[in-house]
Structure formats: structure tokens, C-alpha cells
Amino acid sequence: MSSRHDPCSQPGLLHPDAAIPLLLEQVNAITATEVVLLPQALGRVLAEDLVSAIDLPPFANSAMDGFAFRHQDWQAGQALTLIGQSFAGHPYLGDYQPGTCIRIMTGAPVPAGYDSVQMQELAQVNGDQVLLEAVKELGENVRQRGEELSQGTKVLHKGCHIGPAEMGVLATIGIAQLKVLRRLNVAFFSTGDELMPVGSELGHGQIYDSNRYSLQGLLSRAGVDVIDLGVIKDDPEAIREAFINAASKADLVLTSGGVSVGEADYTKQILDEEGQITFWKLAIKPGKPFAFGHIAKAIFCGLPGNPVSSMVTFYKIVVPILNKLQGLPQTPPVRIKATLQQAIRKQAGRVEYQRGILSTSADGVAKVATTGSQGSGMLTSMTLANCFIVLEQMQGDTPAGSEVLVEPFNYLLD
């Protein structure tokens, strides 16, 4: 194919899979840590390996409500004598006696000398005589001490993201405080003379600044501290001042608008003077123009102004950067195959992230429809959608009934 007809040979147009590693090469993880109490640890990144100081479970306990007995004491059709009880938090403290059993509840310690539990549904109680039925192997229904992990085992690794399950695991091993990475600071502002704050009247040619709100939503869900610097006018000195101010406060400076052809020259000049920035043309739609670099000690990402473009670029490009800054793994998005419900028009040349509505038919087959018009300024396409329909760079028009790949939205977008 001659390069003239190859849509991917557009000068400077870079596939996101090629661009992201190049960007990430320029990003270093922060190292500063702080100690937080467990209730404050949610959403943070663990900065130390955590080893359990206890066995889990810490003592042999019952997995059922029933009767604890010694396996070798049991014979089919012969009752055992009930001599005590062990409830959660209230162990049986007496000695083992041959031919006996102990009433026991889930989570209660299995008394010394006893080794098995039969569930109460399989017991016939007659006064202090308990007939256990269908007894199987030794140790049945007993959760052994240390069976999940033993003292000294590494439970959570440095660099792990602390979610609800990790919170519970930390508590299970008795961690009251822990070392985590300090939170990232992200400063962001919108640029554009047309942008008005909500609460004001729109004049002719003006629109409300929406990007700051979607970005704030994305950043908050990403668990970073946000510094909202408002709307900055398309004025070189105002923009310069905003860049310098933002970079002095943040690990990452995020802007929207002013990176497309026409406006870029203007932003570029200031950024060339104040930092090291590259203007990229990414082979993604929406979201082609993207600026990236450093201002002072901060990373800078200049997102396109179109509202869908700025969200998609954040999701696809900024999230890997936030992960790298926090030393988190880059987990590839989950993609699933779905049957396309209507034809899609597409030109080869860029990877498209069309907004889609994914559902499953009664027999569990995934199907997907687009949200309709896919203009990069139509933010309602994002509120209607629950997934991206991912159409690869060289793909063209795609007929109804085709199998397409979709990426369900994750918690950042839902």
C-alpha cells in the first residue's frame, strides 16, 4: 500500500498503544509516604509489605452450628453425652472427656481434645444424649488454626491498592495503622474565553464550562487530591501564570482546551518557555490532540477541549500516568465480544471509542448498540453509555450483526 493511501501513515499520528509507553517513560513514581490509621487507608497505595503477626484463623473454630466431638469416639447409632458449650467469644474451658460432645456455634473455638463438628441438622438431641448422623472424615466442619495463612506470611505487598477487601484483610491481621504513599495532588483548569461558570447567565457565543466537573469526577474517583483552579481566559499571561501556579502545587497539571490546531501554537509558545512539552496527535477518536510534558517538577497533560474527547483522553491516557505516578500496575481494560445491533460508519485511521449500551439477551449473549450521534462535543453520549465500542485503527464501516469488542466502563466512569 502506498503511504498516500495509508490512513495510518498520517505524519505524527500515533496509536495509543505506542504512545502510552513513550509517555510513561517520562513519569516517575512518587516515593513520599505517610502513616495513616486504618479507617483512612481506603483508596491509598500501601508503601510497605505487610506480614501477619498471627495465624489465620488464630484458633481452630467451627464452620457450623452443631456439636464438637472427637472423631474416634463416634460410632454409628451411639449417642454422645453433652457436657458443655462453646459459643463465639465464649469458649468451653473444661477438659475433654471420652464419649462426650460440646454444643458449638459458628466461629466458636473447638475445645482442646475435640477435633470434628457435626452440623445440628444431623444431630438428634434427647436430654443430654446426642446422636450424630452421617459423620464423615476427621476434622469435618473445623476451620483449622493457620489454614488460611500462618504467622510471618506476607499478606499484602508494597504497591498494592487498598480497596474494601484489603481494608478487611488489614483488620483481620490486626493492623491499626500503616504506611501508604502520600496522596497525589492534581491541579486542573479549563481554558477558553467562551467558558462561563455555572450559576451565571450565558451571553451569545458562550457555553458553560463542563470539563472541570467531569474531570473533577474522574479525579475524585481516582482517589487523588484535586486543586481546582477554575477557568483561565485565552490570554497568554493569564495562562502562563496559571501554569506556573499549578505546577508549584501539584504532581500533575491537567488542563482542557487549547491544544487543538490553531490554539496549540499559542499554548505551545508559553509551554516551551516554561517547560518541556510535546504536542501529540493520537490515533484515537475522540481525542486526537494531546499535550504532554513537564512544567517545573510537575507532569503536564493538556487534554482536548471537546467534552467527550477530554473524558476519553483522561480514561485512556491520564489513568496510566496516574497509575505510574503511584507505582500501581497497569491493568489492561477488560474487553468482551458483543454483537453489534446497528451498522456503524467509520473511516480507517484512528482507534474509535464509540459510546455504547451493552446488554445481554436472555441466553446470556452480549449485544451492544451505539448511543446514537457520536460527536465529540456531545457529552450526553457518555451519560447514556455503559461501555466503549472499540473499533480498531484499520477498521472501516462495520455492519449490523458484526462481532465487536466492547470495554465496559469501570468505576471511574460509571
Residues that bind ligand AMP (CB under 6 A): 190, 192, 194-195, 207, 209-212, 256-260, 263, 304-307, 377
- Interface characters, 249-278, with Mg ion (x: CB under 5 A): --------xx--------------------
225's contact among ligand AMP, Mg ion, none, with CB below 5 to 8 A by partner kind, is none
Q: How far is the CB of 258 from ligand AMP (least distance, A)?
A: 5
**Any idea how long the chain is?**
414
**For ligand AMP, the closer CB: 143 or 288:** 288
Name the one range near Mg ion by CB under 5 A: 31-39, 151-159, 184-192, 291-299. Answer: 184-192
Q: How far is the CB of 191 from Mg ion (least distance, A)?
A: 6
Q: How far apart are CA 64 and CA 121, in angstroms?
A: 10
Q: How far is the CB of 246 from ligand AMP (least distance, A)?
A: 15
Name the one range near Mg ion by CB under 5 A: 27-35, 52-60, 300-308, 356-364. Answer: 300-308
Q: How far is the CB of 209 from Mg ion (least distance, A)?
A: 11
Supply 86's cell numbers: 462453646
Q: Of residues 16, 66, 109, 192, which one binds Mg ion by CB under 5 A?
A: 192
Q: Is 91 in the site for Mg ion (CB under 5 A)?
A: no
Q: How far is the CB of 18 from ligand AMP (least distance, A)?
A: 23
Asked if residue 171 lies in contact with residue 39, where contact means CB atoms within 8 angstroms, the answer is no
Q: How far is the CB of 8 from ligand AMP (least distance, A)?
A: 24
195's contact among Mg ion, ligand AMP, none, with CB below 5 to 8 A by partner kind, is ligand AMP
Q: Parallel, antiparallel, or unpaired for β 366-370 and 336-340?
A: parallel
**For Mg ion, the closer CB: 209 or 407:** 209
304's contact among ligand AMP, Mg ion, none, with CB below 5 to 8 A by partner kind, is ligand AMP
Is cis: bond before 58, omega within 30 of 0?
A: no
* CA dist list (Å): 313 to 20, 102, 132: 11, 63, 64
Contacts (Cβ under 8 Å, ≥6 apart) of 127: none
Nearest of 146, 80, 154 to residue 117 by alpha carbon: 80
Asked if residue 410 lies in contact with residue 333, where contact means CB atoms within 8 angstroms, the answer is yes
Q: Parallel, antiparallel, or unpaired for β 207-208 and 275-282?
A: unpaired
Q: Parallel, antiparallel, or unpaired for β 403-408 and 289-295?
A: unpaired
Name the one range near Mg ion by CB under 5 A: 99-107, 186-194, 272-280, 378-386. Answer: 186-194
Q: How far is the CB of 284 from ligand AMP (least distance, A)?
A: 15
Asked if residue 49 lies in contact with residue 158, where contact means CB atoms within 8 angstroms, the answer is yes
CA angle 48, 54, 56 (to 5 degrees): 105
Backbone φ and ψ of 206, nearest 5°: -105, 155
Nearest of 188, 175, 198 to residue 224 by alpha carbon: 188
**For ligand AMP, the closer CB: 148 or 263:** 263
Backbone φ and ψ of 156, nearest 5°: -130, 140
Residue least distant from ligand AMP (Cβ):
305
**For Mg ion, the closer CB: 256 or 370:** 256
Q: How far apart are CA 48 and CA 388, in angstroms?
A: 36
Q: How far is the CB of 241 from Mg ion (least distance, A)?
A: 17
Q: On the CB side of 141, how many CA atoms lie within 13 Å of its CA?
A: 26
336's contact among Mg ion, ligand AMP, none, with CB below 5 to 8 A by partner kind, is none
Q: How far is the CB of 237 from ligand AMP (least distance, A)?
A: 18
Quote the crossing angle between the two packed helices 236-249 and 264-274, to the nearest 10°.
50
**For ligand AMP, the closer CB: 152 or 230:** 230
**For ligand AMP, the closer CB: 194 or 225:** 194
From first CA to last CA, the distance across the chain in angstroms is 41
327's contact among ligand AMP, Mg ion, none, with CB below 5 to 8 A by partner kind, is none
Binding site for Mg ion (CB under 5 A): 192, 257-258, 305
